[in-house]
Amino acid sequence: MQYLVGLDVGTTSTRTLIIDSNGKLISSCIKEYPMHTPKPGWAEQDPDDWWEAAVYTIKGAISSGDIKPQDIAAIGLTGQMHGSVFIDRKGSIIRPALLWCDQRTAPQCEKIYDIFGYEGFIKLSHNKALAGFTAPKILWLAENEPQNYKKIYKLLLPKDYIRYKLSGEFFTEVTDASGTILMDIEKRDWSEEILKGLDIDRAILPDMFESIELSSFVSEEAAKLTGLIKGTPIAGGGGDQPAGAVGSGIVKEGIVSDSLGTSGVVFTTTDDPVYDEQGRLHSFCHSVPGKWNLMGVTLSASGSFKWYADKFGPSREIKEKNPQIPDYALLDKQAEIVKEGSEGLIFLPYLTGERTPYADPNARGVFFGISYVHTQDHFVRSILEGVAFSQLDCLNLIRGLDVKPDRVIFFGGGAKSRLWSQMMSDVFELEISTLKIEEGPAYGAALIAAVGAKLYSSIEEVCEKTIEQKEVFKPDPEKSRIYRKYYEIYKDLYKDLKKDFKRLEEV
């Protein structure tokens, strides 16, 4: 039996899993690490924390699965997108990596528009210049830490730093490179026009492959550290969202995925490089060669739920009634007590600014409509509903580009909640399916590696033969009617508060 490794460099942890050639999960291992916020709106990590976690989890997955390393056919890498790892000529890290949720680069985004024009840049890159993306991070470093900027030999994305540590090679692939906004999306290569306009040296960027291509091989040094065999091939892989889409079968037009992790992402495949002329959706290359994708992002999706769980937790009453149930399940029980619409309590999930449809780093979370009737139970349910509304914002933008999905695949931490799954179906007014194997981006990365290793002829084939649906949720017409009314109010709240968000930031 041959095996495939999928490794996901997440925001809070790295996870490595191993599957067999039929897609069956054999083993997995996870290791957490911290995120640092030296100033409000800043988000950084030490890339060596990722590498330490990668070594630990690779060894752990091999050991717990009782896998012979020589039977591993290939490795697929995935991870958080847009992060910037600055490397010097000695291969050392110059400074902590700036992450996807870092909001410090708003002035640099404005500079990009000054150079190319607002509409001009969207037409050129198929995307807005957003604070979380990679290109403005490079400009920020040049303007604020010029001594570090001069040291740059290579710029790497998070998963590609792990590739470098595994192989000694500097490479990336088309999906993660798309999120730098330094690409010509249609040509699936770096954009000479954007690089010239921003005065960024092409030499600092890694060479680019398609996701399924075998880009590098495990070095002798990395083999000793991880337990892998020297020469084990490493596929290009993909950013966490395209890889997660592969892992859930979103590889053809007509199907949408909704991934609720720390962020929430509505994702669909397109046969052509379609883009929103206002740049409200991300238009990137897909892990499927010759395919593209559209996605909208809520920055604080399950992250909003986790914030509440960490800061407040379940109510004392629900704990006393259900002492044996874990906290997150208890919060679900609290939300179940409340009717649709949370009796007029509406939540805006903008805890770290927002991306879609409002690219606004100043946006903040809001509970609107609080009255004496509201309890802790209402606040919990309103968070779930507010995130669902924010994901509907994304879906409606996709629909506006004449992409007409007929069903949604739901995965990520949020999909573990049957309440949230049904709620998403009611809000979307679409059938929603969960998956039998719901292992997220790491699983998709392993499937990509299986194609790279020639165990399957294409990503479409490997998905067809390995991915199965688990449960189907159908919308309740009456609940959908109620949610439509609250959604109309939800949509107006950001517009009403936009100026106040900016005023708050300036205090």
48 is a catalytic site residue: no
Domains 3-248+445-470 and 302-434+476-506 fall in the same CATH topology: yes
DSSP three-state, residue 382: helix
Alpha carbon distance 108, 356 (integer Å): 19
The length of the chain is: 507
Burial (CB count within 10 angstroms: exposed 0-12, middle 13-18, buried 19+), residue 89: exposed
Closest among 376, 295, 390, 306 to 335, alpha carbons compared = 376
Instruction: Give the number of C-alpha atoms closer than 13 A to the C-alpha of residue 394, restricted to the C-beta side.
Output: 32
The set of residues, in sequence order, having a beta carbon less than 8 Å from that of 215 and lying 6+ positions away, is 163, 169, 171, 173, 209, 234, 235, 236
Cβ–Cβ under 8 Å, residues 418 and 453: no
For residue 22, with 0-12 CB atoms within 10 Å meaning exposed, 13-18 middle and 19 or more buried, which class applies? exposed
The confidence score (pLDDT) of residue 233 equals 98
Q: Report how far residue 120's alpha carbon sits from residue 132's, in angstroms, rounded to the nearest whole number.
A: 20
Distance CA 409, CA 395 (A): 13
> Which neighbouring-strand residues pair with 327?
none
| Distances, alpha carbon 286 to alpha carbons 18, 81, 99, in Å | 23, 13, 21
| Tally of CB atoms within 10 A around 161 | 25
Residue 254: its pLDDT value, please?
A: 84
Given 20, 102, 160, 240, the catalytic residue? 240
* Identity of the amino acid at 233: P
C-alpha span between 394 and 243 (Å, rounded) = 19
d(CA 482, CA 502): 32
Decide: 155 and 124 in contact? Cβ < 8 Å: no
Q: Where are the domains of the chain?
A: 3-248+445-470, 302-434+476-506
- Rounded Cα distance between 391 and 305, Å, is 14
Assess contact for 501 and 360: CB atoms under 8 A: yes
Residue 264 near residue 297, CB atoms below 8 Å: yes
Residues of the chain with pLDDT under 50: none
pLDDT attached to residue 434? 93
Residue 206 is predicted with a pLDDT of 98
Contact 115, 197 (CB under 8 A): yes
The pair phi, psi for residue 9, each rounded to 5°, is -90, 90
Q: Which residues pair with 97 in a beta bridge?
A: 45
Q: State pTM to two decimals.
A: 0.87
Topology of domain 302-434+476-506 in CATH is Nucleotidyltransferase; domain 5 (3.30.420)
Alpha carbon distance 257, 412 (integer Å): 10
- What's residue 88's pLDDT? 98
CATH 3.30.420.40 fits 3-248+445-470, yes or no: yes
Residue 100 main-chain phi, psi, to 5 deg: -60, -30
C-alpha pair distances (Å), 294 with each of 7, 148, 184, 400, 421: 24, 34, 15, 12, 22
DSSP class of 471 = E
Could you tell me if 220 and 380 are in contact, meaning their C-beta atoms sit under 8 angstroms apart?
Answer: no
